[in-house]
């Protein structure tokens, strides 16, 4: 949702949202899309790692775990993403024909009719998403992280005898964080950090799970501040590379703190179990995939220069589109990915039994 609000705000070119006072305030977090992406990668590493760590090594071999994982994961990622590209191609082409925004505006630039080359370029996310649906840039990194998950699990298992918090600190402060000068380096390190956080989830009887509420409130406040360091760093006379590295580090720490709060602090868990938030969480992937072309079309047709009506219509349109996309494309793709995983697992088991 934060990514959606961030894109809507960028198209309104509103003086208040674009002001330095707003950027420096905590309210800026509701439109801080890049920070939200880092949070997503921490969650992704956590969610993908927990089932692997919970599996019984004495009952399953490495081949049993990983043979169905790859086809299942790739189907889960690629089919909805291809669907989003097809939707985006149609909607952005439509936007280019109904454009009412002035030339040179952000909405006019985003409404440029895509070519078939753009569509083909976006099909293989390892090489980027093209220009049809720019938020899909992170899907290429999600594919890379998913493919590298076995190596990440090796790192996590090596950390098992030690304190995971110490390993997290070493990871974040290691030379790997130099890659945080690029957004791609930041999110990939965040994915590994999320995988290490899975160890703490499996050790709920001690560590952060035993902290008091006041400590978690402090973690929540600190995480929010860390996730919003970008506008503050712009005020400091730092070299661009140093500022980028510090920004990547603070975003990773803030994302880890925020996910830990949601994971271990009971009041936060209860809030996240509210039905509207559960619905939003279940549709978040679809919302991320299709919101951009939807808000571009609405902005092109209804003039993003009118912030109030545009922001409301764009938000409602994105949520409605996400529900439709979830029902028609994402949920069937998810079911298919499970069937593909089971098929590969069954074939692999039957092949070994006959050998």
Lowest mean pLDDT among 89-103, 176-190, 299-313, 325-339: 176-190
* Distance (Å, whole) CA 220 – CA 156: 25
What's the pLDDT band for 130 if we cut at 50, 70, 90?
Answer: low
| pLDDT at 243 > cutoff 90 | no
In a domain, 355, yes or no: no
In a domain, 308, yes or no: yes
Other CB atoms within a 10 A radius of the CB of residue 213 amount to: 11
In a domain, 341, yes or no: yes
Pick the closest to residue 136 from 293, 344, 353, 334 (CA basis): 293
Please give the full DSSP string across 14-27, using - where no structure is assigned: -TTTTSHHHHHSGG
What's the pLDDT band for 175 if we cut at 50, 70, 90?
Answer: very low
CB 278 within 8 A of CB 269: no
What's the pLDDT band for 29 if we cut at 50, 70, 90?
Answer: confident
Task: Say what the pTM is.
Answer: 0.86
Residue 28 pLDDT: 84
Other CB atoms within a 10 A radius of the CB of residue 190 amount to: 30
pLDDT per residue as tens digits for the range 145-162: 888 888 888 877 776 655
In a domain, 186, yes or no: yes
Residue 182 pLDDT: 63
In a domain, 354, yes or no: no
Higher pLDDT, 132 or 184: 132
| pLDDT at 355 > cutoff 90 | no
| pLDDT at 275 > cutoff 50 | yes
In a domain, 80, yes or no: yes
Q: Considering its fold, how many domains does the chain have in total?
A: 1
Q: DSSP secondary-structure letter at 162?
A: S
What's the pLDDT band for 244 if we cut at 50, 70, 90?
Answer: confident
pLDDT per residue as tens digits for the range 85-124: 999 999 998 888 887 777 777 888 888 888 888 888 787 7
Range of the structural domain that residue 37 is part of = 2-349
In a domain, 87, yes or no: yes
In a domain, 196, yes or no: yes
**Average pLDDT of 1-23?**
80
């Amino acid at each position: 949702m934060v990514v959606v609000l961030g894109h809507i705000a960028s198209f309104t070119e509103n003086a208040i949202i674009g002001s330095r006072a707003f950027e420096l305030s905590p309210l800026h977090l509701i439109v801080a899309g890049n920070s939200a992406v880092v949070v997503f990668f921490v969650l992704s590493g956590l969610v993908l790692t927990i089932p692997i760590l919970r599996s019984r090594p004495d009952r399953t071999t490495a081949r049993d775990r990983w043979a169905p994982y790859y086809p299942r994961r790739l189907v889960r990622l690629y089919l909805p993403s291809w669907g989003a590209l097809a939707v985006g191609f149609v909607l952005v082409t439509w936007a280019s024909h109904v454009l009412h925004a002035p030339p040179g505006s952000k909405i006019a630039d985003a409404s440029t009719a895509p070519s078939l080359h753009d569509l083909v370029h976006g099909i293989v996310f390892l090489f980027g998403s093209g220009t049809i649906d720019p938020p899909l840039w992170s899907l290429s990194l999600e594919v890379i992280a998913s493919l590298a998950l076995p190596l990440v699990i090796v790192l996590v298992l090596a950390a098992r005898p030690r304190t995971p918090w110490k390993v997290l600190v070493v990871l974040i402060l290691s030379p790997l964080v130099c890659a945080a000068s690029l957004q791609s380096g930041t999110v990939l390190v965040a994915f590994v950090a999320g995988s290490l956080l899975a160890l703490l989830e499996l050790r709920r009887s001690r560590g952060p799970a035993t902290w008091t509420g006041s400590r978690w409130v402090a973690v929540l406040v600190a995480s929010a501040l860390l996730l919003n360091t970008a506008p503050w760093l712009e005020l400091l006379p730092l070299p661009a590379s140093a500022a980028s590295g510090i920004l990547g580090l603070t975003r990773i720490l803030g994302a880890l703190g925020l996910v830990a709060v949601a994971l271990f602090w009971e009041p936060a868990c209860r809030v996240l179990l509210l039905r509207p938030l559960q619905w939003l969480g279940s549709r978040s992937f679809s919302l991320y995939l299709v919101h951009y072309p939807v808000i571009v079309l609405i902005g092109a047709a209804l003039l993003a220069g009118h912030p109030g009506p545009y922001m409301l219509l764009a938000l409602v349109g994105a949520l409605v589109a996400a529900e439709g996309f979830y029902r028609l494309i994402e949920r069937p793709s998810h079911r298919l990915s499970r069937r593909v995983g089971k098929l590969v697992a069954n074939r692999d088991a039957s092949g070994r039994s006959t050998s």
